[in-house]
Structure 1
Amino acid sequence: MTIAPKNLTDPTVAKFVTAVNAHDKEAFTALLTPAATMSDDGADRDLDEWVDREIFDSNGHMDVQSESDHGRAITVNYRNDAWGEMRTAWRFTVTDGGQVSRFETGQA
């Protein structure tokens, strides 16, 4: 069963998923701290390059299947034009101001 972004526990994570699914790079970027970092399958990546390639240039889409850690960890059926669909885990570090300072993703 898919969890709609509006029903996610953490409002920042909900906005992150909504921005990805709407292909709204401006809203997505506004959610990140200026020095935000990320990792994919345990390896740190260049955030801007990865986001363009894996999300915005390839029509990324997140169907959230479950959440834990007060909504800061989600399991997603993620699909894009480059890789097709895969089950992925996402974990977010969110500041008190409601911005993502780090996210980590990888196959679940």
Structure 2
Amino acid sequence: MTVQLDDPAVAAFVAAVNAGDKDAFFAVLTEDATMSDDGSERDLAAWTDKEIFSADGRMQVDRVSPDGRTLEVTYSNATWGSMRTRWTFTVAGDRISRFETGQA
């Protein structure tokens, strides 16, 4: 199933994750972006390095909310394997200022 991502910032986020492209990933985030994982605030740089970039993280988008800013994803990486996750994004202008992820 191919899911259309209508929010350009969210689409750029997913594309950067799937390409393993740190530069593109951080370019889509505001300078003061924050994040949480399963309800706990995390250090964005440390978390993304461990859970995405060093572990070959990939997002297969299964469902998108009507506003395009909440995704249900089959997320996989070399550390944890594959799991259903929810990703919610706060977009400021054309960049993401916050994302929250956790098990779906």
TM-score category by the smaller chain? over 0.9
Q: Distance in 1 between matches of 2:74 and 2:38?
A: 15
RMSD value over aligned CA atoms?
Answer: 0.8
Matched residues, percent identical? 59
Q: How is 1:22-101 mapped onto 2 (pairs within 5 angstroms)?
A: 22-96=19-93, 98-101=94-97
User: What is the TM-score with the length of structure 1 in the denominator?
Assistant: 0.93
- Alpha-carbon displacement from aligned partner over 1:44-89 (angstroms, at most 9, x marks no partner): 0000000000000000000000000410000000000000000000
CA–CA distance in 1 between the matches of 2:8 and 2:63?
A: 15
Partner of 1:8: 5
Give SS of 2:79's match. Answer: coil
Amino acid at match of 2:59: M
Deviation at 1:19, TM superposition (A): 0.3
- In terms of fraction of residues, the more helix-rich structure is 1
| Secondary structure of residue in 2 paired with 1:71 | coil
What corresponds to 1:20 in structure 2? Answer: 17
**Runs (5+) with no aligned partner, structure 2:** none
Give me the TM-score of the superposition, normalised by structure 2: 0.97
- Mapped to 2, the partners of 1:72 and 1:24 lie a distance apart of 21
